Structure 1
């Protein structure tokens, strides 16, 4: 276990250049004291790791240091093979080729056990348990290739983008990174210095430009995504709904709503919630899915909409006895 952690520590320093003891502890899921002991062990073993003092200090490796860190354990090999079963950002064929090389480089014992374990795992089948086909977002390969090139090379990107309920428009952005959430791809970028998030499936065409992008040299993509997600949940045309809910359907609502800001239990055991939705259409859809297990208390227009929709369906089926 410690040998694996020491290898991971060296890899983290090689990839990030400099990291604080706190950051290393968070990445390795150990205490800062353990990190300091591991740094000392690496130094004793001849690995040129040194400390930089000051506010932005941390630990780093001497420039140009390389080490052959070979030998995957079983779980690491299995994780790579599972990752190779998913195609992301148009790199499916390259990923499959890389996985073949990984398997070929494994010791015979690890190769057979890892390959056998992968046969016992199925990641994202085409249909769910009810045989409903899961529709993946289609993004043209030429678009993905241009977007990837701009992101990795640090160039400006020209995209023909169709925002929701708008005609496609050309715009030039500074790409920051790519994110996948539940098989939906997003481009994080800035435009005229302002943060922008673009759905990959809405990019009709893309062209990587020769000009360098205006962006920081390093980025914490996870933090950037969390910040944009938070702004999305609290801005735009969001709708706040007060409702009563059968507690048996709470998870269904929480999984659909953007946020649930307040919750209490009525005398009859039902929940009273304050939930926010992306817009009026989202709110209507979410409450309709819950049928008689939920009652919208406000806004009044939502109550009226759900009542009229239910009445129209009842009228359609009336007299068919």
Structure 2
């Protein structure tokens, strides 16, 4: 651990220039005294590091010195593709390896390229989470990721919409979509998708997983997610939307908003428009439209219109019983 920290300190000084003992201590979550000992170790090893005293002082390397000790460990090489997505790397249990890999990669670049890469990292940040989302606590994810890396079969207890089932699966990959993790695995040689938060128990088996020779995770996910959206939005509804309702629909259902723009009929003088949009079946469609409030009105189908009226009456009755509307 200490040797790894010494190398990381050396690379940081190379990339960032002068750094104070306090800044280095905060970076590695150790004491300032530990940093002073580490600097002494680097000096004893022949690294030309010196200290500048004063308010703006700190440690820095002699001009022109560059380390070539940037070889990746196997774990860091595995984590490298995730180095720019810190949250995903941390979820998978390889956050430290990803950070170390990123440092080594920057240090291995020519001086100007390294500075440019740092400028990009300081000015552009990828946040895969949706607004108002806080992610999911997924204690099993590191063990699941390990099984994926090592091609080990797993046994899961999975809570689906209909029931809780046991499955023996061949892991194929993990996908993050909108801040949520999905597990792609083969059941009886057929790829299936499982939401990780619905996995209630995980057992990593001794047997080796059977992975199809030509399986492409990215292609599978693109096809599966498109088919999922089609199956999810399997019904149609004719609606009237106010200007605000049309904007709200974009946040409630981007796919429905896109369809509305295609089928939009000219606006009336009051700004309301007519459109036909895809909706989920049953109660899901009712709750979707409730989020639009009085800025949307379903005209067809009659069954959905009646379901909305029934739900609205139930809501009004509930608030009336508690001293609200009379």
After TM superposition, the score normalised by the length of structure 2 is 0.60
With over 3 angstroms needed to count, the CA separation of the structure-2 counterparts of 1:221 and 1:258, relative to structure 1, is: farther
- 1:297 aligned residue: 299
Cα shift readout 1:297-316 (whole Å, capped 9, x = no counterpart): 23334323322333444452
2:124 to 121, 124, 130: 121
1:136 positional shift: 0.2
Structure 1 equivalent of residue 250 of structure 2: 251
Tell me, yes or no, if structure 1 residue 135 matches structure 2 residue 137: no
2:290 aligned with 1:288, yes or no? yes
The residue that corresponds to 1:112 in the other structure is: 115
Structure 2 residue aligned with 1:227: 223
1:178 alignment counterpart:
174
Deviation at 1:275, TM superposition (A): 0.7
| 1:54-109 superposed Cα distances (whole Å, 9 cap, x missing partner) | xxxxxxxxxxxxxxxx9xxxxxxxx9897143334332222112112223323333
Q: Which has the larger radius of gyration?
A: 2
Q: How does 1:144-155 map to 2 (within 5 A)?
A: 144-155=141-152
**1:188 correspondence with 2:184:** yes
Closer, same or farther: CA 91–285 of 1 in aligned 2, 3 Å: farther
Instruction: Tell me whether 1:163 sits opposite 2:160 in the alignment.
Output: yes
Deviation at 1:157, TM superposition (A): 1.7
Aligned-residue CA RMSD in angstroms?
Answer: 3.6
Helix, strand or coil at the partner of 1:102: helix
Match of 2:43 in 1: none
Structure with bigger helix share is 2
- Aligned-partner SS, 1:119: helix
Equivalent-residue separation in structure 2 for 1:80 and 1:215 (angstroms): 21
Q: Distance in 2 between matches of 1:227 and 1:123?
A: 24
Contact 2:236 2:276 in 1 (8 A): no
Partner of 2:265: 265
Cα distance change on mapping 1:272 and 1:292 into 2, 3 Å: same
CA distance in 1, matches of 2:148, 2:83: 25
1-structure distance, mates of 2:155, 2:94: 21
Question: What are the ranges of 5 or more consecutive residues in structure 1 without an aligned counterpart?
Answer: 1-69, 71-78
Separation in structure 2 between the aligned mates of residue 215 and residue 80 of structure 1, nearest angstrom: 21
Per-residue Cα deviation, 1:205-248 (whole angstroms, up to 9, x for no partner): 22232323233123222221122223323447954433233364
1:273 offset after TM fit, Å? 0.8
Question: Cα offset for 1:188?
Answer: 1.2
- Report how far residue 119 of structure 1 moved: 2.6
Give how far 1:172 is off. Answer: 0.4
Matched residues in 2 for 1:189 and 1:306: separation? 39
The answer to whether the 8 Å contact 1:80/1:99 transfers is: no
- Identify unmatched segments of 5+ residues in structure 2: 1-69, 71-79
Equivalenced residue count is 236
CA gap of 1:246–1:285, structure 2 versus 1, over 3 A, is same
* Equivalent residue, structure 2, for 1:101: 104
Tell me the TM-score normalized by structure 1.
Answer: 0.61
**SS at 2:163 equivalent:** coil
User: How big is each residue's C-alpha offset from its partner over 1:118-161, in whole Å with a ceiling of 9 and x where there is no partner?
Assistant: 23334339895xxx4x2202211xx2233223323333221121
